Amino acid sequence: MHKIAVLPCDGVGPEVVAEGLKVMAATELYDVKYELVEYDIGGERYLRTGEVMPDSVMEELGQCDAIYLGAVGHDEVPPGILEQGILLKLRFGFDQYVNLRPIKLYPGVATPLKDKGPEDIDFVVVRENTEGFYAGMGGQLKAGTPDEVAIQTGVYTRKGTERIIRYAFELARKRGKARQLTMVDKANVLTHGHDLWRRTFAEVGQEYPDIKQENAFVDACCMWFVKNPEWFDVVVTTNMFGDIITDLGAMIQGGMGVAASGNINPEGVSMFEPIHGSAPKYRGKNVICPVAAICAAGMMMEHLGEVAAAAAIEGAVARALASGKLGDLSTRSGVKTTEAGDLIASLVE
Ligand code: IPM
Ligand code: MN
């Protein structure tokens, strides 16, 4: 029995999570045994009680087998409070050091890239998820005065760098596609931190002679994601760069409506979520595409070892997208969130 914590959180989170759970329920023929425990976390609770993420909830989440999260961010809460207090607290607190973000263009989905199709866009970004500029190191001096100073430091540890690079090498092997790993950095400017990344990559790379190893600067990487996405198989990068390039990645795979992610601690509690935000202005309107959240549920099933159920979800998503019945996957598609979920659930086989 898998114990799955469900955190719908803010904005459109609850709506897309409901569709993900609907599609999970439709895999019952695979006899996956799971129990859902829902938590009332997010902007509403914060506004009501002042609590962001109580220790008692963290403790209970630590007893679960996986966390399924909707989206974080509330229009009446200043930016940062919920992002740091919920999302980053979970990622850091459970040491989910891998942020796995597949960039896959499904047949039937439109990409803004001219002359590129599903055979060209199929790679995975492995984003470091616990260090870099997200570590919160630094401070402000004389804030709000003309003399103010702000310092925000990127943190890179040998341990943190090595484990994410090793994970990416293993993934390149497991995928068995081009057997290629590209490390994305800015070693030509960030000569301290990203030198550590380069040296670690070269060193760990010696253990993987079967994997082709490449370096790319992050600016050039943005160019190639657009110009030659077919060059990529597995990409490993730092936390901030991974955040940025996966929004670009989401666009080339058909939009935020389809981009899913896993925050993974291979030895601990992992968390699965769509990469889109809470989109407060669409809350309750039943217009958000739930495919990303449904794909995140599929990634969660796979992580829990339910490979057949995961494949069934992926298959249903692929068939729904290929049918053209989901429209352009935007909020203006004319397809309701619940209808999209119904369709995908009905296509599980
Ligand atoms: C993401 C989001 C988060 C991040 C925000 C909400 C803190 O943009 O998951 O990509 O920057 O990691
Ligand atoms: Mn982001």
pLDDT tens digits, 162-202: 999 999 999 999 999 999 999 999 999 999 999 999 999 99
Could you say which architecture CATH assigns to the domain 111-253?
Answer: 3-Layer(aba) Sandwich (3.40)
Quote the CA–CA distance of 66 and 84 in Å, as a whole number. 20
Over residues 272-294, mean pLDDT: 97
Is 247 an active-site residue? yes
* Ligand 2 ion: nearby residues, β-carbon < 5 Å: 243
pLDDT for res 88: 97
Quote the CA–CA distance of 321 and 306 in Å, as a whole number. 23
Amino acid at 146: P
The single-letter DSSP state of residue 319 is: H
Quote the CA–CA distance of 17 and 29 in Å, as a whole number. 21
Active-site choice (39, 97, 186, 233) = 186
For the chain, what are the domain ranges? 1-102+255-349, 111-253
Quote the CA–CA distance of 162 and 166 in Å, as a whole number. 6
pLDDT for res 123: 98
pLDDT tens-digit readout, 284-330: 999 999 999 999 999 999 999 999 999 999 999 999 999 999 999 99
Q: Which two tokens stand for residue 307?
A: 């490979």
Which percentage of the chain shows pLDDT scores above 70?
100
Quote the CA–CA distance of 128 and 309 in Å, as a whole number. 28
Average model confidence (pLDDT) across the chain: 97
pLDDT for res 336: 97
Which residue out of 243, 245, 256, 263 has the highest number of ligand 1 atoms within 8 Å of its CB and is therefore the one to mutate? Answer: 243
Residue 232 alpha carbon to ligand 2 centre in Å: 20
Over residues 97-115, mean pLDDT: 97
Over residues 267-292, mean pLDDT: 97
Active-site choice (142, 247, 281, 285) = 247
pLDDT for res 347: 97
pLDDT for res 24: 97
pLDDT for res 74: 97
Is 219 an active-site residue? yes
Domain covering 1-102+255-349, topology: Isopropylmalate Dehydrogenase (3.40.718)
Question: What value, to the nearest 5°, has the Cα angle with vertex 220 and ends 218 and 222?
Answer: 70
Residue 85 alpha carbon to ligand 2 centre in Å: 16
pLDDT for res 91: 98
Which has the closest alpha carbon to 278: 77, 62, 66? 77
Domains 1-102+255-349 and 111-253 share a fold: yes
Over residues 103-120, mean pLDDT: 97
Is 243 an active-site residue? yes
Beta bridge partners of 100: 126, 262
* Minimum CA distance residue for ligand 1 atom 5: 83
pLDDT for res 313: 98
Question: What value, to the nearest 5°, has the Cα angle with vertex 337 and ends 342 and 343?
Answer: 20
pLDDT tens-digit readout, 4-41: 999 999 999 999 999 999 999 999 999 999 999 999 99
Does any ligand 1 atom lie closer than 6 A to the CB of residue 275?
yes
Q: Which atom of ligand 1 lies at the shortest distance from residue 83's CA?
A: 7
Give me the sign of the Cα torsion angle 115, 117, 123, 124. Answer: positive
Active-site choice (134, 156, 167, 208) = 134
Active-site choice (40, 75, 195, 219) = 219
Over residues 242-248, mean pLDDT: 98
Residue that has been written with the tokens 């795979």 in this structure:
253
Amino acid at 28: E
Considering the entire predicted model, what is its pTM?
0.97
For residue 213, the Cα-to-chain-centroid distance in whole angstroms is 24
Q: Which pairs with CB-CB distance under 8 Å and at least 24 residues apart come from 341-345?
A: 341/18, 341/19, 341/20, 341/22, 341/23, 341/290, 341/294, 342/22, 344/19, 344/23, 344/26, 344/290, 344/291, 344/294, 344/313, 344/316, 344/317, 344/320, 345/22, 345/23, 345/25, 345/26, 345/316
pLDDT for res 309: 97
pLDDT for res 209: 98
Residue 243 alpha carbon to ligand 1 centre in Å: 6
